[in-house]
Amino acid sequence: MTTPFRVGLSPTLDPSRGKLKFPSYDLAELAADPAFDLAYYEADEPLSAKALAGFDGVVLLGERMAAESFPGDGRLKLIARMGVGFDTVDVPACTAHHVALTITPPAVARPMAVATLNYLLALANNMMVKDRLTRQGPDGWAARTDHHGIGLIGRTFAMIGLGNIGRETLKLIRPLDMRVIVCDPALTAGDAEALGVVPVDLETAFREGDFVSLHCPLNDQTRHLVNAERLALMKPTAYLINTARGPVVDQIALYDALSSGRIAGAGLDVMDPEPSAADEPIARLNNVVLAPHALGWTDQMFAEMARVNAAAIRAVAEGKAPEFVVNKEVLSAPDFLAKLTR
């Protein structure tokens, strides 16, 4: 009798635990297939080798996978990460242990682009202030003429990074008739011309942007990329949007810039650290719109994540290379290929 392909699921997907619930993340087809055995692992910090022992594949949401998290049984073949960020996973350790790490770009691009558009419009129209004024009754309504928004035609939207999410964002903001400048070392002149964007260096993006929007991964080069010096380059009328990762921004420097009026405001879907403290200073400011790293979380996002993760799991179970692999070099490694044939 063939041994089922065992899949370890993030306990945050388990509705019986009364924690986060994602009803649209549906792996029912895998669960009903006798070729697969699905179970929830225990989420230590970081994940322990003991908790992951005996699994052929694991699904991660926000759990941290460190070098010591890999079981010694050599059975693990796949880590299917929900989302596109993988800063919580030790990628070299995945390769060293002959494990493929996959992500879910098709699930994330549109919802996160919509999240960026959401912030752009909320900041441009001063929504956070106008919401508060409306709730104050007649006195608030009387102050509405003091809080006009800004028109977007001809304004400059500066993008730091132009990957899948950035390009989807570009599609959504194009009808707004904004000038778009992009800082991305991978952007070629031909690609920039085809997309109708202007390639610029980092300092120019901060200096000229009326909105500076972050679309870059978190790594050693981008950690605190937004610091006091770069915030000082921004116009006092400019806004920062961060839907990438919290540590890309020096949060103390950002607070100083926001509280002093050095920049006009910010839209933040991510913080450093997460979860943010109840007394986080930025949360007390009136010129900031916040979300708990969940603005892009929609039913469609998680349904598509489940589809992409399930496809990766099926592929590996059938001895095939999955799509959307981060550590592509593992796909040609003899030890990984040997795992696929077992």
- Assigned token pair, 177: 């008739």
Please indicate whether residue 148 is annotated as part of the active site. Answer: no
> Could you confirm whether 293 is annotated as catalytic?
yes
Predicted pLDDT at 17? 74
pLDDT of residue 19: 58
Give residue-wise pLDDT tens across range 173-193: 999 999 999 999 999 999 999
Q: Which is catalytic among the residues 274, 284, 318, 342? A: 274
Which residues of the chain are under the pLDDT cut of 50?
none
Catalytic annotation, pick one of 168, 293, 304, 314: 293
* Predicted pLDDT at 18: 60
Domains and CATH numbers, the chain: 5-103+298-341 (3.40.50.720), 108-290 (3.40.50.720)
Q: What is the pLDDT of residue 2?
A: 75
- Among 110, 155, 207, 245, the active-site one is 245
Q: Are 184 and 199 in contact (CB under 8 A)?
A: yes
Q: Is 262 a catalytic residue?
A: no
For the stretch 203-207, contacts whose Cβ atoms lie closer than 8 Å and that sit 24 or more positions apart, written own/partner, are: 203/230, 203/233, 205/158, 205/159, 205/160, 205/181, 206/158, 206/230, 206/231, 206/233, 206/234, 207/233, 207/234, 207/235
